[in-house]
Structure 1
Amino acid sequence: MIHVARGAGHHGRIDVACATDIPETAVAVIGSPSDPLGSILGAAEAVRLARACRVLVIDERFTEYSGFSALPLCLEFDNIVVLRTLETWAGLDNPPCAWAMTSPRAASFVGLSETAPDPKALAAGIATLQNLPTVRATIGLVREERSRLYRLLRKLSYLEPIPSWGPFLSARVNIVARDTLVSSLLTRGVYIHIPPHPALERIVRVGIGSRSAMERLKSVLLALGPELVGQ
């Protein structure tokens, strides 16, 4: 297994010096938007990876929150697999409703089967698609709250937000230790995710919730500022 560093932002650059860094027989798996940073895999980087390895698998479980998809690349490259699901944006997790878009050759190589979907999952998926405007309206609210949170965090000296295209927003903790921030939030009943990934020791991730939940988070962060900065 080869771990490849990836930058933050809209097109989080993949730190691969040249195509020979990835074995030709390798299967590259990458999320777009990524978790926890919410970075998008750009078309140029996707093509670069597809040409460097045997199969490129792109996990797009959060793509509905971004508006960007690598699906068109499946028509050009027969070694790209795009995974999609209704679980993360429509709440269909029991049973899950997921699918893949790829060529028969790539599907065979990574072991994808053509098993029939669960009837309950299929019925739930059809019902979701029939009410797509309502679901998309909810997604729009998540995007709006994500933008509002980003603008708030930019005003705080102890948090540096990272642009995200997922249903969450990550930020770099400045001035104080990350553990200090997390424990201070916990004492106030606010729970945030601590990414265990290497090189993300100062990063925290906040899930986007309802307007009332985000307003409570806002009030806690604003009240916490003087206490943290004064330490």
Structure 2
Amino acid sequence: MDFGIKGKTVVVTGGATGIGRAIAQTFHDEGATVIINGRTQSKLDTACSEIGERAHGVVADLRSTDGAQTLFDFASGFGPVEFLVNNIGVFDVNDFFEVSDERWMEYFDHNIMTSVRISRLVLKDMLDRNSGSIVFISSEAAIRSIGNMTPYSTTKSAMLGLSRSLAELTRGTDVRVTSYMPGTTATESVMGYFQGLAEEQGKTVEQALDDFYRDVQPGNLPQKLIDPAMHGRGVVQLATNPAMNGICHRADGGTIRSIFG
């Protein structure tokens, strides 16, 4: 299938690893020019060399307006940004009563404000051109609120509101804003978490995962971690479908027991 993205410029924030990397790879494989950002040039260079010849990385920290401008200017040098995937995010397991105000603000800065800063630049340009698509990578945790990941769940819920609010600004145009909710995925960080959990409990990773799906996510239908590449496919389809605007697409393996989304 031709998604109509050959030669177009795509920005995937935090696209050097994890789900972002898989999304960047899929866009590249479909013929797009892919721009990723991060804070370490060597990591960006390695990721770009593995993704392909049309992948380019720039050191740009979106926790500042200057960093967002750097990313926008760099990407615009390859052509107007037709697709923006807001993928940057942090997570950890924590005790709500022990999370400091400073840590809460770090969560909002990483998981919300990075998207706000780059979207403010990209969306304005898209509306001026009357063309473009933005996808926010949220999480099933936005709806399946998790008690030992309260800051993560809260900020991912806020991302859904941000996405829908920006979609309202596109009314009557050919610009679209959507969000995507992946479930628990076999990224480097998630696998690291389960490896640490297994060691702590004196179990194998496979046993730790079996316990996780039995006790924490019994509603998950595949009962296994999602391959990041599946999200690459899902996000490209969502980003390129003109019929999808202002919506949230779930890709959580059925963890959330709902026929909607």
**TM-score bracket relative to the smaller structure:** 0.3 to 0.5
Which has the greater radius of gyration?
1
TM-score by structure 1 length? 0.34
**Larger relative helix fraction:** 2
TM-score by structure 2 length? 0.31
